[in-house]
Amino acid sequence: MIRLIQSGLMFGNLVHISSPALVERYNRALKHLAGKTTALTDFHIDISGYSPEIGDELGDPLYLNPNGVNRQFILLTPEQKRAPLLNVKFSTSRPILREFIEANEAQLFALTATDAVAGELVNSVFKLRSPADLFTLRKIEIEADTVGGTLKNADKLAAMIERFKTENDAWFDDVLIAEMIGISKQTGDISRNPVHLSHKAHEQRNFWTAHFGGLYLFPDVQHPAMICAGEKPREEMPVKYVFDLSERNRIAKFLDFNKLAEPIVRARGLDAAAVLRQKMDFIVIDTIAGTGLDLAGVDRGDLRRLARMHADRLPDAYHGLAQLLRWTEGGEWPHISAEHPAYFYGLRAADTPDRDLVNMLLSELAPLDARQLFICHKELFYRLYATWPEAKKAFVADFLAREYQVDKAGARAALFGHEPDMSGEAPPAMADERLIERVGPWGAIRRR
């Protein structure tokens, strides 16, 4: 993993903590939340305040995420909003944390000037005993305060001020006045500078979780289902349909019926041929990486030559994408069913609120596309990367550092974006729309 770290592809954008004051605040917050402290004086933290260095020191990668369910957080600066979330257990956690920070950025800036803000993503379950428990995680609320209790004290002071204003004899209550003065030394003048954090309850609808081998839950679509990366649970689930990743045709129908995915060649504003060629290149690299060939500095011409030399070893996914590529360039329509290894390589998420979740699922169904895997499912990317031959590790790390890191937003928009045409006119279709509507993305999974 050293290569990824050095290229900024792993642990990138973490916030560096080295100031003695910030380390002291972090320790106070960590003691408050987990009853632990760190002896480190220099470390990095993610959006939740989790530090991989402290995780190693404590021998506990979940020291801020007990049982992997109720994520705790330590905020030392609003700049944490730009950091990734490490050891992800739920796909919804980082978006919720980022939204909370952005909604309260001015208040957090003031609060973290003197103290750390500690809190928790709270739901109704403290420990998951079966996959069915996941369906009860419908609402996530955020509880947060400074370690010194600034917000709690501000609420207390506000109540005292109201009492002082409304009770007839409050002017003569020396104890009340003394308490108000004492608390105001901690909170400041809340009448001029109100101290308050907005706490919005977040509905957790469709999401991914790392628990139970990896599960994609879609309870809030027209045809609900659960898709399992590991073994399917034996007990009955709250949704009618439960698939594992081997049930490709059923997953394809699920995506089609709920209009969650679309063919790459149908995507407006996308150079489908270029995307398909890149996917094919990654498949070539995967095929030949273990042969001992030096892949340093290979370009597309080299990859075409290597593909010809090793054509008999290339998997069906490569040949299926080649058929699709020929069709985009004027060839015959390819008959690629959902059972074909190339099928899910030819899809991307449709423009729905679940776009990121669907792209994450598609990357797991098409794992040889290293770029999509890295962008959409980093947890799986890192796990698979550790098993790859050195030649493939070097090629992929170099490609991502050279082609992706320099323009992340542009790369994501080119691959997955659904930007409207500002002219108001629909761009030319990249595929025969009527044919796709009639037979489904590539094969006959939809009735005529």
Of the listed ranges 127-141, 258-272, 273-287, 376-390, the least confidently predicted one is 258-272
The answer to whether 54 and 86 are in contact (CB under 8 A) is no
CB count, 10 Å around CB of 30? 24
Cα-flanking dihedrals φ and ψ of residue 88, to 5°?
A: -70, 130
The model's pTM is 0.84
In the predicted model, what is the mean pLDDT of residues 410-432? Answer: 54
CB count, 10 Å around CB of 124? 13
d(CA 263, CA 320): 14
Is pLDDT at 431 greater than 50 in this prediction?
no
Residue of 49, 47, 48 lying closest to 38 (CA atoms): 49
The answer to whether 345 and 324 are in contact (CB under 8 A) is no
Sign of the Cα torsion 341, 272, 253, 360 reads positive
In the predicted model, what is the mean pLDDT of residues 110-134? Answer: 88
Give the pLDDT band of residue 102 (cuts 50, 70, 90). Answer: very high
Quick one: what percent of the chain has pLDDT higher than 90?
A: 55
Give the pLDDT band of residue 183 (cuts 50, 70, 90). Answer: low
Cα distances from 13 to residues 49, 119, 305, in angstroms, run: 13, 22, 38
Give the pLDDT band of residue 126 (cuts 50, 70, 90). Answer: confident
Task: Tell me the β-bridge partners of 318.
Answer: none
d(CA 427, CA 236): 46
- The reported pLDDT for the residue numbered 193 is 47
Top-confidence residue, 275 or 429: 275
Task: Tell me the β-bridge partners of 141.
Answer: 122
The answer to whether 152 and 215 are in contact (CB under 8 A) is no
**pLDDT tens-digit profile of 291-345?**
878 788 788 888 888 889 888 899 999 999 999 988 887 777 788 899 999 999 9
Residue of 302, 297, 300, 330 lying closest to 430 (CA atoms): 330
Which helix (H) or strand (E) segment holds residue 347: the answer is strand 347-349
d(CA 187, CA 153): 7
Cα distances from 21 to residues 76, 79, 101, 316, in angstroms, run: 10, 17, 21, 58
Q: What does the angle CA 440 – CA 446 – CA 448 come to, to the nearest 5 degrees?
A: 105
Q: What does the angle CA 93 – CA 96 – CA 99 come to, to the nearest 5 degrees?
A: 145
Residue of 47, 32, 316, 318 lying closest to 152 (CA atoms): 32
d(CA 235, CA 210): 19
Task: Tell me the β-bridge partners of 348.
Answer: 262
- The reported pLDDT for the residue numbered 27 is 97
Residue of 273, 322, 277, 260 lying closest to 431 (CA atoms): 273
d(CA 390, CA 296): 11
Residue of 355, 380, 358 lying closest to 369 (CA atoms): 380
Cα-flanking dihedrals φ and ψ of residue 343, to 5°?
A: -55, -55
Is pLDDT at 206 greater than 90 in this prediction?
yes
- The reported pLDDT for the residue numbered 151 is 75
**pLDDT tens-digit profile of 334-392?**
888 999 999 999 999 999 999 999 999 999 999 999 999 999 999 999 999 999 999 99
Task: Tell me the β-bridge partners of 73.
Answer: 119
- The reported pLDDT for the residue numbered 448 is 33
- The reported pLDDT for the residue numbered 437 is 45
Cα distances from 194 to residues 107, 110, 197, 218, 344, in angstroms, run: 9, 11, 10, 40, 52
Three-state secondary structure of 364-401? HHCCCCHHHHHHHCHHHHHHHHCCCCHHHHHHHHHHHH
Alpha carbon dihedral 185, 80, 215, 276, in 10-degree steps, equals 160
In the predicted model, what is the mean pLDDT of residues 99-105? Answer: 92
Work out the mean pLDDT of the chain and round it to a whole number. 85
